[in-house]
């Protein structure tokens, strides 16, 4: 593709993935632009040579604020593209869900990157009803947008299959999310800044969840597990993050008077490597309704950490399939508390099993590097 062209990414809440995309795209495009409310930087900073149009930040604290900020961001995206970038290549990421509507209405040259599939996600989490008018309208426009897009991208084979329902035979390109092993160097427990906050014995087996405490994540199951281990001092549970269920988790811990689980708020981004490595076992959760519609992006960062992964999710989900293919952890349904407990015992009592899962996780991370971003060229 010739130089001296412009490419624009639409994504309300961006981070290192979009920065890596811009870096890759800059090899073919003279001008790279992102329209976003936030860009969370990690080891890679947003280059000054890229233009960032700042719009309304994504606010997911309530359903009203979520939808309001989606709509506000979409309107801003529309007018920025209308006034400045109608002739550019647009890559619309489904955050907000209506972002692809912008280049569709403007008849621009565009691709769509499906991170979360809509309207399915809205139906599954009861924002709209399956038989309601909103779902019918959203479905109609989704099919129109997918049909006129140049290329459709998704993250997993499972998500590609669900996306195909709206794509009418159009080829869907799978580009997995990636991680960066260099951002997660091995940190000894003695040097781990998060572990120092816990005040527990160094040989304690820590089960850690670090991330969004969102509506789609059955985080409360970790409280159930902590209750199941409440008389076993060698095990400790840690939840780090914020979101919809933060107060619920706090309330459950208080009501059950549990002393073997601690809830910490979001930590500074520079402590992320410490968050990810404080646990002997890292936890990823995903609601049944999101089984084929998304995969938590932090899963790929956890591969870099090189420790076993416990997934609480549907066994038919893309997340469960990833762990099975990589043999770096196990997936359990939310009601399988006894089975999860047995898995934790196994990891503590069988060093060779623990080592195998850990090595497989690190090995799998090599399949998910930022070279994946080159596929957007």
Please state, in angstroms and rounded to a whole number, the distance separating the CA atoms of residues 247 and 239: 12
User: What pLDDT is stored for residue 160 in this prediction?
Assistant: 94
Neighbours of 209 (CB within 10 A): 27
Whether the Cβ atoms of residue 277 and residue 247 lie closer than 8 Å to each other: no
What is the span of the domain harbouring residue 26?
6-175
- Please check the confidence at residue 289 and state whether its pLDDT lies above 80: no
Residue 372 in any domain: the answer is no
| Lowest-confidence segment of 231-240, 313-322, 356-365 by average pLDDT | 313-322
Mean pLDDT, rounded, for 79-86: 97
158-171 average pLDDT score: 92
Q: Which of 372, 365, 227 is nearest to 302 (CA)?
A: 365
Q: What is the mean pLDDT of residues 292-300?
A: 81
Mean of pLDDT values over 361-376: 94
Mark whether 350 and 206 lie in a shared domain.
yes
Q: If you average pLDDT over residues 332-338, what whole number do you get?
A: 93
Same domain as 210, residue 356:
yes
Domain boundary among 175, 201, 230: 175
The answer on pLDDT for 4 being more than 60 is no
2 has a pLDDT exceeding 60? no
Pair (42, 81) in one structural domain: yes
Based on the domain organization, do 167 and 187 belong to the same domain? no
Q: Which of 150, 175, 200 is at the close of a domain?
A: 175
**Contact between 306 and 362 (Cβ < 8 Å):** yes
Q: Which residue has the tokens 């593209």?
A: 81
Count Cβ atoms below 10 Å from residue 130 Cβ, excluding itself. Answer: 11
Q: What is the pLDDT of residue 1?
A: 41
Residues 246 and 187 in one domain: yes
Number of domains forming the structure of the chain: 2
Nearest CA to 35 out of 86, 109, 90, 87 is that of: 90
Q: Same domain, yes or no, for 141 and 209?
A: no
Give the pLDDT of residue 353.
Answer: 97
- Residue 94 maps to which CATH number? 3.40.50.2000
| 168 and 259 fall within a common domain | no
What per-residue confidence (pLDDT) applies to 293?
66
pLDDT at 51: 98
Q: Which of 175, 204, 232 is the last residue of a domain?
A: 175
């Amino acid at each position: 593709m010739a130089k001296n062209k412009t490419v624009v990414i639409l994504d309300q809440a961006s981070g290192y993935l979009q920065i890596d995309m811009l870096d890759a795209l800059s090899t073919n495009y003279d001008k790279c632009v992102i329209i976003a409310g936030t860009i969370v930087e990690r080891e890679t900073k947003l280059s000054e040579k890229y233009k960032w149009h700042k719009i309304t930040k994504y606010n997911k604290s309530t359903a009203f604020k979520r939808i309001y900020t989606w709509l506000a961001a979409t309107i801003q995206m529309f007018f920025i593209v209308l006034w400045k970038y109608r002739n550019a290549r647009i890559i619309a990421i489904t955050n907000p869900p209506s972002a692809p509507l912008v280049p569709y209405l403007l008849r621009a040259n565009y691709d769509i990157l499906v991170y979360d599939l809509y309207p399915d996600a809205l139906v599954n989490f009861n924002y709209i009803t399956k038989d309601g008018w909103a779902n019918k309208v959203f479905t109609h426009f989704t099919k129109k947008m997918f049909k006129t897009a140049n290329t459709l991208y998704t993250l997993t084979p499972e998500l590609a299959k669900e996306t195909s329902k709206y794509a009418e035979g159009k080829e869907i390109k799978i580009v997995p999310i990636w991680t960066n092993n260099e951002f997660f160097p091995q940190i000894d427990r003695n040097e781990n800044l998060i572990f120092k906050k816990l005040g527990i014995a160094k040989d304690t087996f820590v089960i850690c969840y670090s991330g969004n405490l969102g509506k789609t994540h059955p985080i409360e199951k970790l409280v159930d597990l902590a209750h199941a281990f409440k008389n076993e001092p060698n095990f400790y549970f840690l939840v780090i993050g914020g979101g919809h269920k933060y107060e619920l988790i706090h309330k459950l811990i208080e009501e059950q008077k549990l002393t073997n689980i601690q809830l910490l708020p979001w930590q500074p981004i520079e402590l992320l490597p410490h968050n990810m490595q404080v646990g002997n076992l890292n936890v990823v959760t995903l609601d049944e309704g999101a089984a084929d519609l998304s995969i938590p992006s932090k899963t790929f960062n956890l591969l870099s950490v090189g420790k076993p992964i416990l997934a609480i999710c549907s066994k038919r989900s893309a997340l469960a399939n990833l762990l099975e293919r990589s043999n770096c952890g196990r997936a359990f349904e939310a009601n399988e508390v006894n089975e999860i407990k047995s898995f934790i015992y196994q990891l503590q009592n069988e060093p060779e099993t623990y080592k195998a899962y850990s090595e497989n996780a690190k090995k799998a991370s090599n399949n998910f590097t930022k070279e994946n971003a080159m596929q957007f060229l």
